[in-house]
Amino acid sequence: MAKWGQGDPRWIVEERADATNVNNWHWTERDATSWSKSKLEELLVGIVVGNEAGSCEISDLKQVEGEASCNSRKGKLIFFYEWNIKLSWKGTMKESGEKHEGSVEIPNLSEENEVDDTEISVSKKKGDGDVLKNLMRTEGTSKVREALRDYLKVLKTEFTLGMILPTKTSAGPELVVKKKLSENNVQDSVIPVSLDTVGVKIPTVKILLKEMFDSPVEELYSIFITKELVQKFSKSCAVIEAKRGGKLQMFDGCITGEYIELLPSQRIVMKWRCRNWPHEHYATVALNFKDQVTQTELQLECKGVPVCNEDSTRQCWQKQHFEEIRVLLQQPKVNTE
């Protein structure tokens, strides 16, 4: 039996901002599946290789099936991931200009195998162009393995920020880690709290979405900056001050922000947050409008989203914004004046 005033330090609540999972003893788990899919697409799509015969580029992530998670127990991180990935590639012969395409398959990327031992197969559609296939098998495969290593690196650094919570005795090392990660441009955010030495650091992610709308670019742009139209698709009161430094408030205050940049019919940039996010933490949202004659392509980039709010934020944009805007556009007439 422990003496009075003493006890197992695993159960002692230290002087922490949240007083949760003290000394990182308890098992905690964070789902990395959605984050990983976005990160794998970001790292793999766009890989380019070339030589004197031609050039190839990975053009699309056709399939990514599986899951990933990170667990913390006794202050140690344990990773589980298993992925079946299929990519598309396109290539062009240098002299003839002939174009060819094919696939890259990674049937089992998992923690059971090293990246160098992971199987990667390259195939090509029928016809000539084997020289491009060989290019993808050699240089292309090498670049793909490099991207997979980068994925595992950020999975074990960027994604896990905040899982090993700072304790009274580890505040110093946390600050050193924070500085090193910042120097490597790892995306993280620090929310100041009432502590003398350290804030509470939260991990964040970037969300990328691309949508097509059956609307001229001027009409779609106007929907995002016109109070009456925002209230129509959101079905709630809104504050829309569409100017630099102007306020944004939607869904009865659940979404708030501030306009940073407005380039008519081309681009909107704003500070943006959900009510349930950490106090005073904002993401940066960029909406880019691409005129496609009778349609408009809308590209969304949302940087600084707390990892634990990634799925809900993605749903907010896809369901409460984009789907409702499509319903609005289907109405007989949308007044954009």
Residues 93 and 153 in one domain: yes
Residues 141 and 38 in one domain: yes
Residues 134-157 pLDDT 10s: 999 999 999 999 999 999 988 887
Residues 48-107 pLDDT 10s: 999 998 999 999 999 999 999 888 766 678 889 999 999 999 999 988 889 999 999 999
pLDDT at 38 over 80: yes
Query: What's the pTM value of the predicted model, to 2 decimals?
Result: 0.48
Give the pLDDT confidence score for residue 138 in this predicted structure: 93
Could you tell me if residue 178 is inside a domain?
Answer: no
Residues 140 and 240 in one domain: no
Give the pLDDT confidence score for residue 333 in this predicted structure: 66
pLDDT at 309 over 50: yes
Residues 66 and 139 in one domain: yes
Could you tell me if residue 175 is inside a domain?
Answer: no
Average pLDDT, the chain: 81
pLDDT at 311 over 80: yes
For every residue of the chain, which 3-state class applies, written as one string?
CCCCCCCCHHHCCCCCCCCCCHHHCCCEEEECHHHHHHHHHHHHCCCEEECCCEEEEEEEEEEEEEEEEEEEECCEEEEEEEEEEEEEEEEEECCCCCEEEEEEEEEEEECCCCHHHCCCEEEECCCCCHHHHHHHHHHHHHHHHHHHHHHHHHHCCCCCCCCCCCCCCCHHHHHHHHHHHHHCCCCEEEECCCCCCCCEEEEEEEEEEEEEECCCHHHHHHHHHCHHHHHHHHCCCCEECCCCCCEEEEHHHCEEEEEEEEECCCEEEEEEEECCCCCCCCEEEEEEEEEECCEEEEEEEEEEEEHHHHHHHHHHHHHHHHHHHHHHHHCCCCCCC
The domain boundary residue, chosen from 136, 158, 180: 158
We report the CATH number of the domain holding residue 44 as 3.15.10.20
Residues 108 and 216 in one domain: no
Residues 142 and 232 in one domain: no
Residues 183-223 pLDDT 10s: 444 454 544 433 333 334 678 899 999 999 999 999 999 99
pLDDT at 13 over 60: no
The domain boundary residue, chosen from 124, 158, 192: 158
- Domain count along the chain: 2
Residues 120 and 215 in one domain: no
Residues 146 and 214 in one domain: no
Residues 143 and 259 in one domain: no
> Are 321 and 272 contacting, i.e. CB atoms less than 8 angstroms apart?
no
Could you tell me if residue 231 is inside a domain?
Answer: yes
Tokens found for residue 62: 């056709």
Residues 149 and 218 in one domain: no
Q: What confidence tier does 161 reach under pLDDT thresholds 50, 70, 90? A: low
Share of the chain above pLDDT 70, in %: 77
Domain encompassing residue 98: 28-158
pLDDT at 277 over 90: no
